Amino acid sequence: MSEDLSIFVGAGDTDQNLLLKYGNRHGLIAGATGTGKTVTLQTLAEGFAAYGVPVFLADVKGDLSGMSQKGGDNPKAVERARLLKIDGYGGRAFPTMYWDLFGEKGQPIRTTVSEMGPLLLSRLLDLNATQEGVLNIVFKVADQQGLLLLDFKDLTSMLQWCAENAAQLTTEFGNVTKPTIGAIQRALLVLDQQGGQQFFGEPALDLKDMIMRDANGVGCINVLAADKLMQSPRLYATFLLWLLSELFETMPEVGDTDRPKFVFFFDEAHLLFDDAPKALIDKIEQVVRLIRSKGVGVYFISQNPLDVPESVLGQLSNRVQHALRAFTPKDQKAVKTAAQTFRPNKKFDAADAIIELGVGEALVSFLDAKGAPTPVERCFVAPPQSRIGPATDAERQAVIKASPLAGKYERVVDRDSAYEVLMGRAGAGQHQDADMTPPAAPSTPRRRGQYGAPPLPDTAPGGPWGAPPQQQQPQPQWNPPPQQPPTYDAPPPPQAQPRLRRSLPPEEAPPPRAPARRSDSVIDAMTKTAARTVTNVVVREATKAIFGRGGIGSSIVRGVLGGLLK
Ligand SMILES: Nc1ncnc2c1ncn2[C@@H]1O[C@H](COP(=O)(O)OP(=O)(O)OP(=O)(O)O)[C@@H](O)[C@H]1O
Ligand SMILES: [Mg+2]
């Protein structure tokens, strides 16, 4: 094998390795239910993390939460390690960050309404073309007026204002009707009932908090609790799409690197594409294509490879195909298509093999050293070293408590924005700024890919992150990574500071923001904005301000997908 770093994915007749330098050439893990997709994802995620690549994954069934815990004792995993003759197989806990849109099973994740942008918001609210057009106008008016759209209250009060001024807006921008605005408001209510309003507000997610390594240079496993989220499939899919577009927007171009900067696993990928309009699929295809040069690998996980549109499927170079059933004509078509996407191997027929594969067995093809897909091979997938299955609530809470982000996102900050301005309120504020520490030194593998990497020291009670955050404060300093990477023969000595390393360059600190205040629900907000006496005054004042002034303010309507659509 060449000197390229690689993840040992499994073995059949030959070892199957995913070359780290092609980790950003995306991938697909497909297979029927119970065939081993999640375990394969876990093995790949561990492989990336062991080489210092942070990953993000959505934990749809809760069975990936165990990655924060040492495994290696699962009888099937032990048996698989023995079968594959894996040197040094043993338990290993991975530095894990739990995230949860609802803030129950991890750090809350929020973004602002402006950051999400009208395109994704329209998708989230399931708006039709007319309603989407009006939502665009609402954003534009807010933009012109310099009104920040941060949370649900801002959006609802802005919508209320636009309804009050529908006639003037129609003159200026085209048809804006009260019934259309009413429909958008109703869609917002539905989203609110699904808990969606918690997703909007501040402090918004700082992506640097996901792109971290621990003191040993191991990439962070970002686990999104998605069991409850999956009950709102549209929120789930739109959120992941938003995250992908944020990554695209935030990450710098890096060209060819020896390993990816970040890897994103997109489970239940069919939800992304179900009923998606062509324009959106085109944009997803474009983002997936372009994000590669930013060092981001995207891996789709799906039961059926036909769930992924061909334009996207064509870009997924690292393939793991678990067993498929072939009961119905549709099943048979899926088997045939899956088989045809592989480069044939004279030794066997891929379509026959796909239906014969056992659990944890797969057809695989990765890119070889020259970047060409290898002929399809049948292999037993290597077992993960962390726990297969969920973490207990107590284990999860211990990890969350010891997390370097503990306390950063829990408290909602409600600064001066559209709602407060329209309601005639004012304020000033405060914002927690992310600290910056230098990127970790690259890690060097020994034999057998990630399995040669040293186990993390047992650091309980702090967990794999090390001691609790209050004992060690990361220093906001940036040094180039050491020229000589540490070898795994001699694990690096424990470092007191900085405890966390980030792989993004520093940015200017954002200005101070408003003090924390609990965000109202959308229903409260709508009730308040409907309070005529106040609103009428506000409406009059804001009308003067908007229509009495020409020119368009600087755009606050962001969102990569929105930008790309122009
Ligand atoms: N590579 C493997 N090594 C050892 N055991 C495995 C492996 N892959 C799968 N298994 C065993 O099979 C079980 C089912 O696998 P897994 O949960 O990954 O299936 P899945 O395809 O994700 O199922 P679902 O579609 O229901 O989510 C695992 O709990 C584990 O016991
Ligand atoms: Mg699964």
Q: Which residue has the higher pLDDT, 8 or 520?
A: 8
pLDDT for position 538: 40
Domains of the chain, by residue range, sit at 6-109+207-381, 113-200+514-565
- Nearest-CA neighbor of 206 among 415, 436, 48? 436
Q: Which of 38, 84, 267, 303 most suits a substitution to test ligand 1, by most atoms within 8 Å of the C-beta?
A: 38
**Contact assessment for residue 213 and residue 465, using Cβ atoms and an 8 Å cutoff:** no
**Contact assessment for residue 94 and residue 386, using Cβ atoms and an 8 Å cutoff:** yes
Instruction: Take residue 430 and report the two structure tokens written for it.
Output: 């405060």
- Least reliable range by pLDDT among 369-373, 490-494, 562-566: 490-494
Task: Return the DSSP state at 469.
Answer: G
Residue with CA at minimum distance from ligand 1 atom 6: 360
Q: Which of 359, 385, 450 most suits a substitution to test ligand 1, by most atoms within 8 Å of the C-beta?
A: 359
Q: Which residue has the higher pLDDT, 91 or 232?
A: 91
**Contact assessment for residue 19 and residue 6, using Cβ atoms and an 8 Å cutoff:** yes
- The secondary structure element, H or E, covering residue 191 is helix 178-193
Rounded percentage of the chain residues whose pLDDT exceeds 90: 49
Q: Any residues with CB less than 8 A from the CB of 557 and at least 6 apart, and which?
A: 114, 117, 118, 139, 140, 143
385 lines ligand 1 (CB under 6 A): no
CA gap 480, 252 in Å, rounded: 17
Q: Which residue stretches of 292-346 are H helix?
A: 310-313, 329-340
122 lines ligand 1 (CB under 6 A): no
Distance (angstroms) between ligand 2 centre and the Cα of 236 equals 16
Class of domain 6-109+207-381: alpha beta
CA distances from residue 16 to 55, 192, 375, 426, 449 in whole angstroms, order as listed? 21, 47, 11, 61, 10
Confidence of residue 450 (pLDDT cuts 50, 70, 90): low
Distance (angstroms) between ligand 2 centre and the Cα of 507 equals 38
Neighbours of 410 (CB within 10 A): 13
pLDDT for position 449: 64
Across 178-192, average pLDDT? 92
Neighbours of 343 (CB within 10 A): 12
Please state the pTM of the whole predicted model: 0.77
**Contact assessment for residue 106 and residue 97, using Cβ atoms and an 8 Å cutoff:** yes
Task: Return the DSSP state at 407.
Answer: T
Across 434-450, average pLDDT? 39
CA gap 106, 521 in Å, rounded: 21
Q: What is the DSSP string of 12-71?
A: ESSEEEEEGGGGGG-EEEE-STTSSHHHHHHHHHHHHHHTT--EEEEESSSTTGGGGSB-
Q: Which residue has the higher pLDDT, 486 or 344?
A: 344
Coil, helix or strand at residue 251: coil
**Top-confidence range, 115-129, 415-429, 550-564:** 115-129
pLDDT for position 430: 35
